[in-house]
Amino acid sequence: MKHPNLRTAAFAVIASGTLLTSAACGSGFDDSADKSSTPQSSGPVSLQVLFGSSGDAETAAVRSAADAWAKASGNTATVTPAQDLTQQLGQAFAGSNPPDVFYVDASRFADYASVGALEPYGDKISEPDDFYPSLRATFTYDGTFYCAPKDFSTLALIINDGLWKKAGLTDADVPTTWDELTAVAKKLKATGVTPLVVGDTRDRIGAFMVQSGGWIISDDGKQATADSAENTTALQYVQGLLKDKLAQFPKNLDAGWGGEAFGKGKAVMAIEGNWIKGAMKADFPDVAYTAHELPAGPKGKGTLSFTTCWGIAAKSKHKEEAISFVEAMTKADQQLTFAKAFGVMPSRQSAKDSFTQEFPNDAPFVNGAEYAHGPVNAPKMDSVLADFDASLLQLASTDPKTLLGRLQKNTQAALGN
């Protein structure tokens, strides 16, 4: 999976414009529509599959898996890596000619589901409860599990082994709570290094909100919960780290993101996802590091998950074959094949043991699935979340209650309450 900040930026370009506008103009994606009325084909079919590829390895792996499904089923599947997935999907939906199967990023899911663009097939996949509960929740809208998560990422605490040892710290010093994080950060600062780099958006700082027992909206996606005491506690804690220079944003370390600052040795610790493996291997191969579960907050462990599902178009004429295709793509053994090919983590719990045996260093990321929180699961929230991200840039000097009060007001307006 790609770095989520970059990926979300790409997804946010026009989905709310092209897709939602087309729905308002009568494209046929009406929540009240009888989706079962779409005629189904008979005999061998040709599925159209559109996906956002992370690179050649993912493209080759998906095409290989699609070829195997086609050979076994007697159908065909044309698998196309998108140049700009959101734009191409938006145009396809506007033209009432969407692909049968396509990637749906978690941050865009509610926008698609809310206008009836997606076939709610989630519970038709075998053993749907085998998907991690947090991932099922991410792709559930109005109580319906819509689409099968293809894989996921979580955040963990990444530690530079060399700088850690240089500061006289050992494995016993790895922080497991906020208090321990503060204490070890003070020890590191005393040696003249930046202890922690953390991204300046909700995609990183939001983990502290979860650890404090808070989040931006309610679990059902209906109510704004931004200005809670739990969220205030979380932002006050992060603010304290920033003010005391125990943590820094990437831009303050002349870096584009946390992984770059960490790789260049400008911070001893970073809060990043398992995508950092690829960046470190490519850009900083000589830096030794380890991953650890994020320190627990006042309400326990917490992290964020980033995921994508296999969407099926509500207007597809080949829904049964599309479900069969997704079934093949999400089998535990196929997910492990994908993991080996391009570094993703399987979304099925039954694949966890095999995955961690193959990739033991990734265990902290996989373990996070048990307590991870997905993205904001509500439509029309793009501008609200972008505004919150912009306000977080001023977290070190602005009262957290002010930032959360603005987020609460904007979220209420977007949710219509």
Predicted confidence (pLDDT) at residue 336 exceeds the cutoff of 70: yes
Share of the chain above pLDDT 90, in %: 88
Say yes or no: 101 and 244 in one domain: no
Using one digit for the tens of pLDDT, what is the confidence trace for 279-321?
999 999 999 999 999 999 999 999 999 999 999 999 999 999 9
What pTM value is reported for the model? 0.89
237 lies in some domain = yes
130 lies in some domain = yes
327 lies in some domain = yes
Predicted confidence (pLDDT) at residue 38 exceeds the cutoff of 80: no
> What whole-number distance in Å separates Cα of residue 382 and Cα of residue 380?
6
pLDDT at 1: 42
Share of the chain above pLDDT 70, in %: 90
Tokens of residue 408, six digits? 């609460």
Say yes or no: 265 and 118 in one domain: no
33 lies in some domain = no
pLDDT band at 132 (very low <50, low <70, confident <90, very high): very high
Cβ atoms 192, 244 nearer than 8 A: no
137 lies in some domain = yes
Task: Tell me which residue range forms the domain holding 284.
Answer: 155-304+378-415
400 lies in some domain = yes
> What whole-number distance in Å separates Cα of residue 116 and Cα of residue 241?
44
Say yes or no: 162 and 298 in one domain: yes
- CATH number of the domain within which 396 lies: 3.40.190.10
Q: Show the CA angle centred on residue 298, arms to residues 249 and 191, nearest 5°.
A: 45
> What whole-number distance in Å separates Cα of residue 240 and Cα of residue 243?
5
Say yes or no: 138 and 228 in one domain: no
Say yes or no: 244 and 390 in one domain: yes
pLDDT band at 14 (very low <50, low <70, confident <90, very high): very low
Q: Show the CA angle centred on residue 139, arms to residues 135 and 143, nearest 5°.
A: 115
Say yes or no: 148 and 192 in one domain: no
Over the Cα atoms of the chain, what is R_g? 22
pLDDT at 43: 65
Say yes or no: 88 and 227 in one domain: no
Say yes or no: 299 and 164 in one domain: yes
- CA nearest neighbour of 389 among 263, 249, 270: 249
Say yes or no: 16 and 137 in one domain: yes
184 lies in some domain = yes
Using one digit for the tens of pLDDT, what is the confidence trace for 354-404?
999 999 999 999 999 999 999 999 999 999 999 999 999 999 999 999 999
Q: Show the CA angle centred on residue 164, arms to residues 162 and 168, nearest 5°.
A: 110
Average pLDDT, the chain: 91
Say yes or no: 391 and 265 in one domain: yes
Say yes or no: 215 and 272 in one domain: yes
Q: Backbone dihedral region of 331: left (phi > 0), alpha (psi from -120 to 50 degrees) or beta?
A: beta
34 lies in some domain = no
pLDDT band at 97 (very low <50, low <70, confident <90, very high): very high
pLDDT at 417: 81
Say yes or no: 245 and 394 in one domain: yes
Using one digit for the tens of pLDDT, what is the confidence trace for 209-263?
999 999 999 999 999 999 999 999 999 999 999 999 999 999 999 999 999 999 9
CA 367 to chain centre: 15
Query: What is the number of domains present in the chain?
Result: 2
Predicted confidence (pLDDT) at residue 10 exceeds the cutoff of 90: no
